[in-house]
DNA sequence: TAAACTAGCATCTATGACAG
DNA sequence: CTGTCATAGATGCTAGTTTA
């Protein structure tokens, strides 16, 4: 398949109605990059990040950063993706000590999503925002499909929250949430699903605070992120590095002084999230949501 | 059904902190 | 003082939804 065809496929949401669609797109993309790239550019500050450069058919455009420790190649993915589906179906009873299961969950999720993101980076220069919007939408959809696959019903949608003053509902606030998990008409979890946290992290904390205040409940709020890095240009032409877009100060401030979130999950976790106080208690890799945490929320 | 609105998101740009 | 890096804020454009 050519880059043009891949981009065309990625734009069409019909191709991503089920997990199978995500996986087969990923197979096509990985096959393409295995022998059609102009170059693979290595990030100068963190060497395991790579940028793919397309050839003339993609105007020599350069993709978003790809973490080579998480991204499978075509051959690895062919094998892992089969395991992936099997693991998801039985994840509730997975061996919690088996790290290879966790690796397959994180890496496959990452590889599939980035294959879409990177393919959309092949859109013409003026359409970069289209790529951003679509990757975001597809990531949301992808995570919901995964949650369905493990056997939990979930949806996206708007929740109306009445604001009560002096015992009277004055008006509604409508909240549009990426992830709502219900059970017996009870909202068990509210979640945000985003490719990166950046300037949206504050809102997630605020949402939890206000929602629970208004409803007088203690509904868990979680967040699922793909990563938190972006490409940065260096002084030299054709040299690139990565920037992190996570705001640790805000995250810790809200956690300590407003309210902690009930789970924050990354596919491509930053090193400081594993070592720094507060962060390391709050933030985990994506496998933890599926293997452990999500089951506690819906009990 | 068209127009208006909302939410999203990677990039770009500005500022501040720090090392040499 | 200068250059580099991290953080934070602004930008520009888009898709999808709601309203008129």
Note the CA–C1' distance, A234 to B16, in angstroms: 20
- Structure-model confidence comparison of residues A292 and A235, the more confident one: A292
Q: Is the pLDDT of residue A72 over 90?
A: yes
Note the CA–C1' distance, A226 to B18, in angstroms: 31
- Tokens (6 digits) for A39: 């170059």
10 Å Cβ neighbour count for A120?
Answer: 23
Q: Is the pLDDT of residue A31 over 90?
A: yes
Reported as a pLDDT band with limits 50, 70 and 90, residue A237 is low
* Residue bearing tokens 């409803």: A215
* pTM for this model (two decimals): 0.92
pLDDT at position A45 is 80
Using C1' positions and the CA of A249, the closest nucleotide is: C7
Reported as a pLDDT band with limits 50, 70 and 90, residue A203 is confident
CA dihedral A228→A234→A237→A241, nearest 10 degrees, is -30
Domain boundaries, chain A: 3-149, 155-297
Nucleotides of C under 7 A from a protein CB: 4-18
Residue A11 pairs in a beta bridge with none
Asked which of A77-86, A114-123, A227-236 is least confident by mean pLDDT, the reply is A227-236
Give the residue-averaged pLDDT of A55-75: 88
Whole-number mean pLDDT of chain A? 87
Note the CA–C1' distance, A12 to B1, in angstroms: 23
């Amino acid at each position: 398949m050519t880059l043009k065809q891949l981009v065309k496929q990625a734009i069409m949401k019909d191709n991503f109605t089920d997990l199978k669609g995500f996986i087969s797109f990923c197979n096509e993309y990985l096959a393409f990059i295995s022998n059609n790239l102009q170059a693979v550019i290595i990030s100068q500050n963190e060497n395991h990040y790579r940028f793919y450069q397309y050839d003339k058919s993609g105007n020599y455009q350069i993709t978003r950063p790809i973490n080579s420790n998480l991204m499978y190649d075509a051959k690895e993915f062919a094998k892992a993706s089969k395991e992936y589906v099997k693991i998801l179906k039985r994840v509730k009873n997975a061996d919690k000590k088996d790290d290879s299961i966790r690796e397959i969950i994180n890496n496959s999720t990452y590889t599939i999503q980035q294959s879409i993101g990177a393919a959309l980076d092949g859109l013409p220069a003026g359409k970069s925002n289209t790529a951003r919007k679509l990757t975001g939408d597809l990531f949301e959809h992808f995570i919901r499909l995964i949650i369905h696959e493990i056997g939990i019903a979930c949806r996206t949608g708007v929740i109306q929250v009445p604001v009560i003053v002096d015992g009277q509902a004055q008006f509604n606030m409508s909240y549009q949430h990426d992830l709502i998990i219900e059970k017996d008409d009870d909202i068990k979890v509210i979640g945000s699903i985003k490719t990166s946290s950046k300037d949206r992290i504050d809102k997630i904390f605020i949402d939890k605070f206000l929602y629970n205040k208004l409803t007088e409940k203690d509904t868990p709020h979680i967040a699922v992120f793909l990563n938190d890095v972006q490409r940065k240009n260096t002084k030299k032409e054709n040299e690139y590095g990565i920037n992190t877009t996570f705001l640790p100060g805000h995250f810790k401030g809200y956690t300590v002084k407003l309210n902690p979130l009930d789970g924050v999950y990354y596919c491509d976790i930053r090193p400081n999230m594993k070592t720094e106080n507060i962060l390391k208690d709050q933030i985990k890799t994506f496998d933890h949501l599926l293997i452990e945490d999500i089951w506690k929320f819906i009990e």
